[in-house]
Structure 1
Amino acid sequence: MVMLLGAYAVAMWMFLTSAPKVHTIMVSNLDQARYFYEGELKLPIADVPLHYYYGYEYGMGAPADPIYIPATARTAKSKYSADMEGAWYQLKKNVQLHIVPGANATDSDRGRHICFNRDCVEQLLLQIQIKGVKHKVRSEKPLNFLVKDPDGQVIEIAEVLS
């Protein structure tokens, strides 16, 4: 029994350590956001992480376990549809960006702030400069700059020294 539990613990540890860290941004217009992140920033599209296939809806507050939701309720128009999950982008090997539709404009006095750790921050800044996207470099070492997405949310892209 102890060996079985040990094997299970090792399998879970391997699964969870291989799962990517996911940063989520809510946007009001998914098409605009896709154009910005794919067209302007040239972020590569990522596959949905495996751990989001199992228990994702339940973890996000679904009223019941998704296994009990009838197949007719999981159609393309359903709130449980994969289309409603947004867009996924690969930032580095185990780091992904998840863009989720459904945000409303925020009060100008309150701003949300997200920072990303990305190995090729310089390449991303170069893409932004080539495309003429408005940005502001806050520091050169470590590299840190701000850029606005189509919703006007300020995104901080920062090199994190470890």
Structure 2
Amino acid sequence: MLTEVHIVPLAFQTLASFLPSLPLDSLLSTQGIMVALLIAYAGAMWMFLTSAPKVYTVMVTDLELARQFYEGLLDLPVADVPLHYYYNYEQTLGAVGVDPLYASTANLTRSGSTYNNSDGLWYQLRKNTQLHVISGASMGAKNRQRHVCFDHDCLEQLLLRVQSYGVKYKIRRDNPLNFLVKDLDGRVIEMAEISN
């Protein structure tokens, strides 16, 4: 004759050992399983968000010239768009709130351009750091191409890359960081940190 057999999964035994005051049947109830699933889901989301790369955004005057600069002169590898950007959260933070002094709406679109301005250009700056280059910056003094960023660390990393590749540059100001760089065609590009 077969008597009652209790089969309890190892995971629930471990959980039950941490929570000795809870009866095991409440953990195996529908409500207990739902709570366990919610905890697992929260853990998975935490893992997803903490493993996502840090993304710096730089606004430029001309995307094609920026492509030549970052790929040609600085030799940055092209990166895939991070998964969390597929959910379009950046568009809610985009150029809508940018001061018109720094971005001209006339430069937000380019006729005949093959780029989708919401996508921009993506480069791998470091192991878990990406650079997102978008259009939207106005021309600088003397019709200079401008690359503007709100993050000091981003421009510091770009300056280190410029220095390590032996590109001609001139630091104009340290805080907020502002420096000039010459591209392959001799054009001067102004790299500027915009302080909040």
Q: For 1:99, which of 120, 130, 133 is the aligned residue?
A: 133
Query: Which amino acid in 2 is paired with 1:105?
Result: M
Q: Which runs of 5+ in 2 are unaligned?
A: 1-33, 95-113, 143-147
State which drifts further: 113-122 or 34-43: 113-122
Measured after TM superposition, the shift of residue 11 of structure 1 is 0.7
Identity of aligned residues (%): 45
Q: For 1:16, which of 49, 54, 77 is the aligned residue?
A: 49
Measured after TM superposition, the shift of residue 116 of structure 1 is 2.9
User: TM-score normalised to the size of structure 2?
Assistant: 0.51
> Is 1:43 aligned to 2:76, yes or no?
yes
Tell me the matched-pair count: 128
Measured after TM superposition, the shift of residue 43 of structure 1 is 1.1
Tell which has more relative contact order, 1 or 2 (C-alpha 8 A, sep 6+). Answer: 1
- Contact 2:79/2:123, CA 8 A, preserved across alignment: yes
Aligned to 1:160: none
- Contact 1:25/1:98, CA 8 A, preserved across alignment: yes
Query: Which amino acid in 2 is paired with 1:116?
Result: D
Q: For 2:164, which of 97, 102, 126 is the aligned residue?
A: 126
User: TM-score normalised to the size of structure 1?
Assistant: 0.61
Distance 1:120 1:148, change over 3 A: closer
For residues 42 and 96 of structure 1, the distance between their equivalents in structure 2, rounded to whole angstroms, comes to: 14
Aligned to 1:76: none
Distance 1:24 1:87, change over 3 A: same
Aligned to 2:88: 55
- Contact 2:179/2:190, CA 8 A, preserved across alignment: no
Distance 1:92 1:102, change over 3 A: same
Measured after TM superposition, the shift of residue 102 of structure 1 is 2.4
Q: State the superposition RMSD in angstroms.
A: 3.7
Query: Which amino acid in 1 is paired with 2:126?
Result: K
